[in-house]
Structure 1
């Protein structure tokens, strides 16, 4: 596919204009950041793996009638997606205490929460993506109460699905982040899942050992980051033997 005009570059992905109106091409980079860009690095082959892992999970969600922006994978690093009006919120779904909630509330990391908790963060890197309430969301018109209900309902359904998928391959879904957008079709609007689902925005632990298999290995300088991403893809059945000689990262199944 010929390279098209770049529209946006984020920390992990680049968006290009799509071949048809209402579409975009999403390119997955190997760049890794932590602390809202304070820490930067490269995870070799991450873009390839995240592209395939996200494709795999988005297609499964489609089978559950959960609307997403995903249309199809174009190649090893690019997806064709629907253009949506992104809602400026990160929706975080927590099953087990880890990361910021453990620090904020003094809960030992690894403690199973009494029930699944949903948190909202305002998408603004310069402010450090502050945590916000539904009152903030309504007052500042980031999303209507109905839109928030739609996002919550979808988030809980996605959580149930992902917990089952990962549990079946020996992985515990600790928490994860979702982003949503408004898809306009004429005068009709619906909320759809956007962004990606991958070890970049999911905390994934080995079910037996609690070994981390996600970007926390990069955040916390634990090493073996590439191997962790590869292991997630391998367990999901979308990774062949790594091709270590070409420095291009692992080879995903076509």
Structure 2
């Protein structure tokens, strides 16, 4: 079974080399660069990757373009801020040699700076398990700017949880808050595209329920102040998206 590793990035010259260096277990590396103006293209070529450059307004569209460029029987889709440890690479190779499933979820270890935060992720602001290992033809991203939905062909298989991908999700608290700002702006554009931004009351309820779920249900309280911060960001994401679409539609309309 041939395995393609797919990396979709934009202006990631600082993080791309370390990511690509961990993908040597794949038979092919495909790098999709969306409107990049830094040295990411030269880095990808130096690593021997297949390079696809272009400009895509929607995250789903550029990810689908990358999937279409892969030639492997299986595809592992990672981001430039993720690192695949050798033990997980070996586990992936062993799994695809025997799997009859269409896709598998892989454990994600989220780091803020050098701190590993195990608990509290959720609400479209982070996850500890992602469906990123799949057969070619099994996965299709929907046309949205942030956290696009997925359509699957085939059944899910066993989950890879013995070893996790190192995800350097944020550098520090300020970086986390900037990510919340970016995500909510992109989501506001999606809401305006759909023509239905929702209501204030519903999004206040979502703020409360998501914050509670991340802090209590997903055990964010075990992380102390970090867990509270992540829970608040997860709860604020839909509320901020709604408020940006409602109060500043001229700034966020596509």
TM-score, structure 2 normalization: 0.26
Structure with the larger strand share: 1
Structure with the larger helix share: 2
